[in-house]
Structure 1
Amino acid sequence: MSADATPGLLSVEPVHPDRDAALVQSWLAHLASSWWGMQQADVVEVRRYLQAVAADPAQDGWLVVRDGHPCAYVETYDPALVLLTDVWPARSGDVGMHLLVAPPPVDGRVHGLTSAVMRTVVEHCRDALGARRVVVEPDVRNTAVQAKNAEVGFRVLREVDVDGKRALLSVLDTERIGQPDDDGPAAHLRPEHLAVAERHLVAKAIAEFTHERLVTPRPDGDGWLLDTGASRYRFRARRHALEHWSIDEASLTRTTGSDGQPVPLDAQDLVLELRDVLGIPDALVGTYLEEVASTLASAAAKHRRGGPSAGQLARGRSDGDVVAGFQDVEAAMTEGHPAFVAANGRIGFGLDEYRAYAPESGGRFLYRWLAARRAHTHLALAADRSEAEHWADELDPETVERFRQTLRRRGLDPADFVWLPVHPWQWQHRIAVTFAPDLGRQDLVDLGEGPDTYQPQQSIRTAFNRSRPERSYVKTALAVQNMGFLRGMSPAYMRSTPAVNDWVAELVAADPTLRAAGFRVLREHAAIGYTGDAYHRVDVASPQRKMLAALWRESPVPRTEPGERLLTMAALLHRDADGHAVASELVRASGLEPAEWVRRYLDAYLRPVVHCLTVHDLAFMPHGENLVLVVRDAVVTGAFMKDIGEEVAVLGVHEDRPVPESIGRIVHPVDDDEAALAVHTDVFDGVLRFLAAVLDDDGVLPESAFWELVGACIDRHAAEHPDRRRPLDLRAPTFAHSCLNRLQLRNTLSMVDLADQSSSLIRAGEMPNPIGRG
């Protein structure tokens, strides 16, 4: 076979295990076939493998034949039943495919053969198997086959964990065979993706601005009308308790002019049309519009990328991998914060950085490590660990020795330094520029990348260790503008963070009611902050003072029992691309009556939050991203609270449980009405109004029954704790309507003063309490 031979005519025929096992085994044994992981299989093992494929009605094996000689082995499979059951929302007409091209002969490679084989195989899937879509999952490192996939028209969706490997999930619409996906990194900004994002965000903006009493739609036939003056928005909607609107996105239209000319939905236009009503300061209009644009871009990318179905997320991974399943859910979230309109700003990330560091990308990255001069750095540790124990837990000895060698080569004493992780974006865009003098005088020393891979979490500054899941989360300063804040971290706050966490964790662990509920905290048990820079030598607050700090938070993985799964609570409000809700799927999968499922969830979430508030005067920030639910058999059995150091507050001071002076910053005494908002606003309005609407809209549980369960949960707790320290009336007829979007609209650069959040609140009158007694 000469090097300039042509591919010739190719055909596809079924493989015969007995006849073809030796041939396929010879191909698998070749170094070029290492991605199949069967190099050591002998002929008998390969024959059994081919027989198993042939015996499975969901799989088929094929040979590609050229001029009477086999030149490739192909497997096709039903992705709803085989391999991709955890990560791909299969539809009728989907076919999965694997391809093994025979190694090139010793007397020359046939130019174009692999491309011709690929084309023949996908046409076979279309013509013989009726495939509308072909899905493949090559190893992320197998760039050669990825190039061939791209040639024939496969488009990359996302990275997934499948069959023990990190794979690049890709799909081909068979009507586009031969049309390469050449749109590049901005492919998500095509009209078909952006239009979906615009529709969703406009619907969400109308719903949330209505909820916050900034706009008032009026009845219009069998639907509703919002007239902004410049445009008229018509839609159908279901109205729920707490003035919550579930808008039928498909029904949403926009018209302009006296003749009612239809025009496309545009979230930025809506903001500009409502500018006077929203009250955005002139100087911040551009920033808010940019956060809206970034939120749209993120939503468009999520739409293009797709994700697991709600059913897949609800049932977990078929291989029982708790870690992979936990992170599948983290990466699948699409909504950001359920109430905020501009929820995914991330101003500062470019296209490549979005793919690398946005949580929904599901990607992996390596932290950059710095040596920070000890004289200018404060490493704070939990009471139960020493510095040596901390580094032994978080870094391998080989890595620490590499760090030390780097310092020795520079003539520096390792004992004078501590190790500081920084986000790679922060290193590239902030540390190497903003702290160049500190690097130049070797108060900071670049140590290169660490060995562990991390996956970004919904809380964008935080990452989960995928190399060693038992190790801590790492949270680092990240100076991107996102949802009302530049996401820095204060070294001053880091100084007391482990002590705050120790105090809260001790209180929680000692409480029998919380133990019985399975309620625990994930301690931030180590924190570090660097203050040797010029910005800390002047007593003027600035973003630069919050650019070099980090903390380590306990992982829930070592505290998970066999049969338990982990699930971010944000998943309960998640709907997949087809509109199916994870919460509804969990209820169905549990086999319980919906009311019983909700009761158990409330016992694991609402009851502990109420208990901490009314018995200990302790308030968390208990939104979906801050809780990790423990699930067994699709039922919530417990919860881990996280993000303690920056957000916990003690709302009253009591002599019988004094707060140590060293953590006095968490004490913020407030009156009973404001204390009750820790449940009314943060739980009822911030979480439960969305969940109640999801279950009601899906026909799973009427919202009236949902709120009856909420009231019963609170009454039961009060009856069991008559001596609670602060017997708040959580069933008062109304409560102050505290508004989140109004905060961001007022100042999208800094929504609240974290040191005095109470003074930052914006209220819009009173909200009827869905569990209020008349």
Structure 2
Amino acid sequence: MTLLTSAVAATRPFAVAADWQHRQRIERRVIGQLLQTLLYEDVLEPISETRLEDSSVSPDAADRSLFRLKVGPGRYRVEGFRCHSFALVRLDHSSLVKEAADGDVSPTLFEVLDDLNHALGGDGKLGAGFIRELTETLIKDLQSSTVASPGNGVDPRQLDADALEQAFTDAHSYHPSYKSRLGFSLDDNRRYGPEFGQDLRVLWLGVPRRLAHQGASCGYRVAAMVEAEAGAEVEAALSGWLQQQDLTRDQVVLMPVHPWQWDNVLVAALYPELARGEIALLGEGQLSYRPQQSIRTLSPVGNAERDAPRPYLKLALGITNTSSTRILARHTITNGPIITAWLKTLVDSHPTAKASGMVILGEVAGVALDERAFPGLRHDQVYGQVGALWREHIDEFLAPGEQAVPFNGLSQFTRQPDGEPDAPFIADWIVRHGRDAWTRQLVMVATLPIIHLLFAEGVGLESHGQNIVVIHRDGWPVRIALKDFHDGVRYSEAALARPELAPRLEPLPAAHAARNRNSFIVTDDLDAVRDYSCDAFFFIALAEMAIFLKRHFGLEEKTFWAIVADVIVAYQEAHPEHAERYRSFDVFVPEWEVEALTRRRLFGDDIPQVKRVPNPLAEHAPGGATPRQHQGGEPMPC
């Protein structure tokens, strides 16, 4: 295949998709998510906001408003909602128009960005990096949204959790750069994007132990596990390299790397060691994987045929998605198995946690390049660029008759078999079990483990919708599994219920802390512990569910949050022994603090970009209602 035909093959899905209506739909989504974050994070103020009265169209129509916006010299009109959940703004992207003298037009992304740059003061105030993220999101979503959902015509509710990772393609519903994947070409996106369901095999490096770091939970032998995954061909190449370098097997560490990472980062970053033969590329492993929604976490293919499921594999990947670079720092590789062992101890030794059936999908082993062995400028060049974590597979924990689904998939539409129109993934379950009963059950099984770890143990978890797996029987939620702990927990040692069990963690490197001020585990700020759990679980996961159930099934958001409050209050009444932590980690306060994601992209975070948001749980506080207020001190809009 020539370079020209390769390029055509890579871009063909994009070219086929580029009909006007399809491009307009995707472009309006990117613009709409940008505008709704600018409104919500107080960068823009609407010129007017008019309530629409027609409730005949859908359950949500009575709550619609018409927003008129001035963005620099441009004027826009779009329908949307002021949600009860944290006063979130949700815009109906399909209704977006730009007002012009000769009539309304559908705006292009660059027209909106030009107007926004003018509104911010011009002179390049809208950074080139953010512009690229938005543009790449448009292009990658346009390409990937043309792919048929996996399953070969099977009802999506019959797919296993790994297949569903490819079926749920909507990505982040708030972040405007929801599918930027900076670093991926269109060919890369087709090969490694989860929507395409392509198998891949990882590459394996041989690294001298003095340049490497590895860690594992008790009972896991890293060397034996990686040899089984690497396979006979890699082992043969390893033997030849050991002989050339006059090394023994215990003097080296095998490390898996993503093929994109090898081609685009590691050949250049490790050139001196590769040229000397000090580090060796040993070839492609024997196992096949498919990327999950997070792209850098890979599901093993063919697990259903195995008695013991293979673990998931999470790899360092130097792309940027939702404004974050997806490296894997050495200290997180060290801490993942340590935190896993700690959380499993907390769960296994507490009757309430055990009774909930909650599952900790543990990070059981990891390997990484040790950046401390690389002097000078090389340190930053290799930092976090070679790292791997193995995570327990959900199939290990499913009882007969149980299935699993990522939490964030519950609020998505999926393509139906036999050419039927797209439908909410949960639609049949709602019909079968009843909307209200199903919602109460979901809220109970999802909320109890999160608040138990916060209240009974003093541990906050970053449990957004991608980090929670719902285990169900025929659509009826029975328990949850939690994952992603290497940098997804937060606690204060002074507030731990059992400080004697506290893990001894690898300290956070100063350079890492300087690059990412929000990347820390241990803190003295109790509000930061509470908000860590509340931001991820309540503000992201549950709010998305509340809004989805309102818009598509007519369940009032206030009713949803009353159900959540009932679960929390019932827990507190059943466990009065945690009263001090109920006060320390008060989830019923009038306001929480959340990250202002788009403001960070526009203005940086030399000054922390946060927003105080009204808490929908506040009015359900034990002992009486707490008036909900937003920042201005006036009643929040309905």
Q: TM-score, normalised by structure 1?
A: 0.68
Does residue 729 of structure 1 match 2:563?
Answer: no
User: Aligned equivalents of 1:279 and 1:736: distance in 2?
Assistant: 28
When residues 667 and 227 of structure 1 are mapped into structure 2, their CA distance, relative to the original with a 3 A threshold, is closer
What is aligned with 1:402?
A: 236
Shift of 1:496: 3.1
Please, what is the CA RMSD of the aligned residues? 3.1
The 5-angstrom pairing of residues 46-445 of structure 1 reads 183=12, 186-217=15-46, 218-220=48-50, 222=52, 223-241=66-84, 242-256=86-100, 259=101, 261-275=103-117, 282=124, 285-307=127-149, 315-317=157-159, 325-391=160-226, 394-396=229-231, 398-399=232-233, 401-408=235-242, 410=244, 412-415=246-249, 416-445=251-280
Relative to structure 1, is the Cα distance of residues 514 and 741 closer, same or farther in structure 2, using a 3 angstrom cutoff? Answer: farther
Aligned residue number for residue 429 of structure 2: 586
**Alignment partners' CA distance in 2, 1:689 and 1:278:** 30
CA–CA distance in structure 2, aligned partners of residues 554 and 360 of structure 1: 23
The 1:576–1:221 alpha-carbon spacing in structure 2 relative to 1, beyond 3 Å, is: same
Worse-superposed segment, 494-503 or 601-610:
494-503
What SS does structure 2 have at the residue aligned with 1:542? helix
Task: Name the counterpart of 1:504.
Answer: 343
Amino acid at match of 2:397: R
Deviations 1:629-655 (A, max 9, x none): 212111221111111012212234348
**Cα distance, 1:203 vs structure 2:** 2.2
Number of the residue aligned with 1:741: 598
Equivalent in the alignment of 1:174: none
Summarize deviations over 1:203-231 as a string: whole Å, max 9, x none.
Answer: 22222322223223322584221221332
Q: Contact 1:336–1:343 (CA<8 Å) still a contact in 2?
A: yes
* Rounded Cα–Cα distance in structure 2 between residues aligned with 1:498 and 1:314: 33
Matching residue of 1:575: 413
Q: Distance in 2 between matches of 1:343 and 1:463?
A: 19
2:338 and 2:607 map into 1 onto residues whose CA distance is: 26
RCO (CA 8 Å, sep 6+): is it higher in 1 or 2? Answer: 2
Residue number in structure 2 paired with 1:680: 534
Residue 393 (structure 1) shift: 5.6
**Aligned pairs (5 A) from 1:334-733:** 334-391=169-226, 394-396=229-231, 398-399=232-233, 401-408=235-242, 410=244, 412-415=246-249, 416-468=251-303, 470-531=309-370, 536-538=374-376, 542=380, 544-576=382-414, 580-588=423-431, 591-653=432-494, 654=496, 656-658=498-500, 659-663=502-506, 667-724=521-578, 726-727=581-582, 728-733=585-590
Distance 1:537 1:201 in 2: 42
Aligned partners of 2:456 and 2:497 also within 8 Å: no
What is the aligned partner in structure 1 of residue 4 from structure 2? none
DSSP 3-state at the match of 2:413:
coil
Q: Distance in 1 between matches of 2:298 and 2:122?
A: 33
* 8 Å Cα contact 2:465/2:537 also seen in 1: no
> Take 1:628 and 1:300, find their aligned partners in 2: how far apart are those partners?
28
Counterpart amino acid of 2:98?
Answer: R
Q: Distance in 1 between matches of 2:504 and 2:533?
A: 27
* Structure 2 Cα separation of the partners of residues 374 and 359 of structure 1: 33
SS at match of 2:146: helix
**Which has more radius of gyration?**
1
Give the Cα–Cα distance (whole angstroms) in 2 for the partners of residues 731 and 185 of structure 1: 47
Q: Residues 80 and 89 of structure 2 are in contact (CA less than 8 Å); yes or no, is this contact kept in structure 1? A: yes
Counterpart of 1:681 in structure 2: which amino acid? D
Shift in Å at residue 474 of structure 1? 1.1
Letter in 1 for 2:389: L
Asked whether 1:767 is paired with 2:614, we answer: yes
Over the matched positions of the two proteins, sequence identity in percent amounts to 23
CA distance in structure 1 between the partners assigned to 2:226 and 2:379 by the alignment:
32
Question: May I ask how many residue pairs the two structures share in their alignment?
Answer: 573
Distance 1:603 1:768, change over 3 A: closer
User: Which one-letter code corresponds to 1:542 in the other structure?
Assistant: D
1:371-424 per-residue CA deviation (whole Å, 9 max, x = no partner) reads 11112111211122234543466455x356424333256354341212100000
Contact kept in structure 2, 1:605 and 1:638, CA below 8 Å = yes
CA offsets, 1:505-539, max 9 Å, x none? 221232222222221111111111113787x3128
**TM-score (norm: length of structure 2):** 0.82
Q: Structure 1: give runs of 5+ residues left out of the alignment.
A: 1-155, 158-181, 318-324, 752-758
Secondary structure of the 1:365 match is coil
CA offset at residue 442 of structure 1? 2.1
Q: Is this contact kept in 2: 1:735–1:766, CA < 8 A?
A: yes
C-alpha offsets along residues 462-521 of structure 1, whole Å, 9 cap, x if unaligned? 101113461111111111122222211112332333222211222123222222222111
Of stretches 625-634 and 649-658 in structure 1, the one that deviates more from structure 2 is: 649-658
Aligned-partner Cα distance in 2 for 1:281–1:623 = 37
Residue in 2 that maps onto 1:108: none
